[in-house]
């Protein structure tokens, strides 16, 4: 049975796994490895250390579906809506730019539930805290090394991490990337920002008429969202959770500062925007070094095939755009590249 490794349990990796399971014409042994401790990647949902039932989306907030992709990716939307993974966004987000015909969706159980839906569908073996460090060719197979544990061999490898992290991999892969491919991978750029999740005691009232708000007049804060209100899951037993996204200039300026210092600066600015908030019972500050793609790999739409026999392919939003449809497009291109091999 062919052994396939997908590196990255984000949206692209989980979708690749689900599509491979559905479309493969021969039995496959599918594994998904991620260096993080949980699934989601940039679609992560963090739990409060105080009450794990209180959660907050720290990366992607809502899914915007344009009329073009409503048609093109209809089966993906239909499936997620039918399973209750996505629901229409009904709470007001002030300052949101909405083009005519766009629909917005939220994931009531947190945005990472989209990824968990696909991982479950894939039936793959999922391993967390597996940071891939090297990829080498051994007897027409890929030998994949990780930070801890023995290397393992695979017939096909799919990489879905941000482009700079592909370029950090060592071993034979370094020499297999052509000059043109390297230039394209190097040309992929990302914005950087921080996200701060704040969890409050049950019963706390945050008295504002919106669920989310884009801020244009603050050097540090770009977006604030009362996450449980956005997801329409307000409850008297579980306290509200808030997420704050910083501006990109702030993210870049403080990229190498300590997370504690950054959290303090965000909290100080928050006091100017929402004065008098109570003390949160738990917090989670997340650095997004690779937040959203600002320049994709233009010459490799959807995927980049680094090696044919054995197959080594990379995908992700770096080859399309940073949103749900960008990841679906990439996963479909990866599937197309793998089609004759599975
Ligand atoms: C702050 C923020 C807000 C956003 N808002 C929205 C939004 O509202 N709507 C929307 O549609 N999109 C939004 N996005 C974009 C969206 O989240 C991304 O486009 C999407 O999640 C990318 O998925 P991916 O699977 O391609 O990459 P990722 O989610 O980055 O997944 C890659 C995975 O690879 C793992 N990895 C990396 N290196 C290694 C290694 N060496 N070994 C093993 N594992 C590794 C990482 O841990 C990660 O889990 C937002 C993103 C951010 C950061």
For residue 24, pLDDT beyond 90: no
Q: Which residues neighbour 138 within 8 Å (Cβ) at sequence distance 6 or greater?
A: 153
Q: Distance from the CA of 292 to the center of ligand 1, in angstroms?
A: 8
**Whose alpha carbon is nearest atom 21 of ligand 1?**
42
Q: How far apart are CA 317 and CA 297, in angstroms?
A: 9
The whole-number pLDDT of residue 277 equals 94
Nearest CA-CA partner of 21 in 143, 116, 120, 141: 120
* Distance from residue 55's CA to the centre of ligand 1 (Å): 18
Q: What average pLDDT does the chain have?
A: 96
Name which residue sits closest to atom 41 of ligand 1, judged by CA. Answer: 132
- Which pLDDT belongs to residue 51? 93
Q: Pick the atom of ligand 1 nearest to 316's CA.
A: 26
Cis check for the bond before 280: say yes or no (omega within 30 of 0).
no
CATH class (in words) of the domain with range 47-107+189-295: alpha beta
Report the separation in Å between the CA atom of 2 and the middle of ligand 1, taken as the mean of its atom positions: 27
Q: Average pLDDT for residues 123-134, to the nearest whole number?
A: 98
CATH number of 2-37+128-188+299-339: 3.50.50.60
Whether 225 and 74 have beta carbons less than 8 Å apart is answered as no
Q: Report the alpha-carbon distance of residue 167 to residue 162 in Å, rounded.
A: 9
CB atoms within 10 A of CB 11: 30
| Cα-to-centroid distance, 178 and ligand 1 (Å) | 25
Domain with CATH 3.90.660.10 in the chain: 47-107+189-295
Return the ∠ at Cα 259 (arms to 216 and 316), rounded to 5°. Answer: 70
In which residue ranges of the chain is CATH 3.50.50.60 found? 2-37+128-188+299-339
In this predicted model, what pLDDT tens digit does every residue of 54-107 receive, in sequence order? 999 999 999 999 999 999 999 999 999 999 999 999 999 999 998 999 999 999
Distances (CA, A) of 32 to 16, 256, 277, 290, 315: 10, 30, 41, 21, 14
pLDDT at 340: 78
Cα 237 to averaged position of ligand 1 atoms, centre (Å): 31
pLDDT tens, 237-296? 999 999 999 999 999 999 999 999 999 999 999 999 999 999 999 999 999 999 999 999
Ligand 1 binding residues, C-beta < 6 A: 7-13, 33-36, 41-43, 59-63, 130-132, 160-162, 165, 193, 195, 245, 288, 291-292, 316-317, 322-324, 326-327
**Contacts of residue 222, Cβ cutoff 8 Å, sequence gap at least 6:** 193, 214, 215, 245, 246, 247, 248
Q: Is the pTM of this model over 0.95?
A: yes
pLDDT in tens, 31-56: 999 999 999 999 999 999 999 999 99
- Closest residue to atom 34 of ligand 1, CA basis: 8
């Amino acid at each position: 049975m062919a052994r396939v490794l997908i590196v990255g349990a984000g949206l692209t990796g989980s979708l690749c796994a689900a599509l491979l399971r559905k479309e493969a014409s021969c039995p496959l042994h599918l594994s998904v490895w991620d260096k993080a401790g949980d699934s989601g990647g940039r679609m992560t949902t963090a739990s409060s250390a105080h009450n794990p039932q209180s959660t907050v989306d720290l990366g992607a907030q809502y899914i915007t579906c344009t009329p073009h992709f409503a048609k093109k990716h209809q089966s993906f939307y239909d499936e997620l809506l039918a399973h209750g993974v996505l629901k229409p966004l009904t709470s007001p987000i002030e300052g949101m730019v909405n083009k005519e015909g766009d629909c917005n969706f939220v994931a009531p159980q947190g945005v990472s539930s989209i990824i968990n839906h696909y991982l479950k569908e894939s039936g793959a073996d999922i391993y967390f805290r597996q940071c891939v460090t090297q990829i080498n060719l051994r007897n027409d197979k890929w030998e994949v090394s990780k930070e801890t544990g023995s290397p393992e061999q695979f017939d096909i490898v799919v990489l879905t991490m941000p482009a700079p992290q592909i370029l950090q991999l060592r071993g034979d892969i370094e020499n297999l990337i052509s000059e043109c491919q390297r230039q394209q991978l190097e040309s992929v750029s990302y914005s950087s920002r921080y996200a701060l999740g704040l969890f409050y005691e049950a019963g706390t009232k945050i008295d504002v008429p919106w669920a989310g708000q884009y801020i244009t007049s603050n050097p540090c804060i770009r977006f604030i969202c009362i996450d449980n209100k956005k997801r329409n899951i307000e409850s008297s037993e579980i306290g509200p959770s808030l997420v704050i996204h910083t501006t990109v200039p702030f993210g870049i300026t403080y990229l190498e500062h300590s997370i504690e210092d950054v959290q303090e600066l965000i909290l100080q600015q928050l006091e100017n925007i929402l004065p008098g908030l109570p003390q949160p019972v738990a917090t989670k500050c997340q650095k997004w070094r690779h937040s959203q793609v600002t320049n994709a790999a233009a010459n490799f739409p959807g995927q980049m095939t680094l090696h044919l026999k054995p197959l080594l392919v990379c995908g992700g939003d770096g080859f399309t755009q940073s949103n749900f449809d960008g990841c679906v497009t990439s996963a479909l291109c990866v599937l197309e590249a793998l089609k004759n091999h599975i």
